[in-house]
Amino acid sequence: MPKDLPAAWRVSAVSAGEQVALGSNAARIENAPGKKELEVATQSLLSRLAELQEAFHADGRHSLLLVLQGRDASGKDGVIKSVYGAFNPTGVRVAAFGPPSSLELKHDFLWRVHQVVPPRGMIGVFNRSHYEDVLAVRVRKLAPETVWQPRFEQINHFEQMLHENGVIIRKCFLHISREEQRERLLARLDDPHKNWKFRLEDLDDRALWDEYTDAYRDVLAKCSTPDSPWFVIPSDEKAVRNYLVARMLVDTLEAVNPTYPAMQQAVRDAARDFK
Ligand code: ADP
What is the reported pLDDT for 24? 96
- In the chain, which residues have pLDDT < 70? 1-7
Ligand 1 mean position, distance from CA 183 (Å) = 21
Q: Is 194 helix (H, G, I), strand (E, B) or coil?
A: coil
Structural domains present in the chain: 24-271 (3.40.50.300)
What is the reported pLDDT for 202? 83
Dist. CA 224–CA 16, nearest whole Å: 5
Q: Where are the alpha helices (DSSP H) in 60-190?
A: 76-84, 102-106, 111-114, 136-139, 145-148, 151-164, 178-190
- Closest to 87 measured CA to CA, from 207, 253, 261: 253
**Helix, strand, coil tally for the chain in percent (to 5):** 55, 10, 35
Please write down the HEC assignment for all residues of 13-55: CCCCCCCCCCCHHHHCCCCCCCHHHHHHHHHHHHHHHHHHHHH
Dist. CA 53–CA 58, nearest whole Å: 8
User: The pTM is what?
Assistant: 0.95
What is the reported pLDDT for 200? 83
Residue having the nearest C-alpha atom to atom 8 of ligand 1: 98
Alpha carbon 30 to its chain's center? 23
What is the reported pLDDT for 201? 82
Backbone phi, psi, residue 19, to 5°: -95, 100
What is the reported pLDDT for 198? 80
What lines the ligand 1 site, CB under 6 Å?
Answer: 72, 97-100, 128, 132-133, 136-137, 142, 199, 201
Dist. CA 81–CA 85, nearest whole Å: 6
Residue having the nearest C-alpha atom to atom 27 of ligand 1: 99
Nearby residues of 108 by Cβ (< 8 Å), 6 or more positions away: none
What is the reported pLDDT for 1? 31
> From the alpha carbon of 135, which atom of ligand 1 is closest?
16
Residue having the nearest C-alpha atom to atom 25 of ligand 1: 99
What is the reported pLDDT for 2? 40
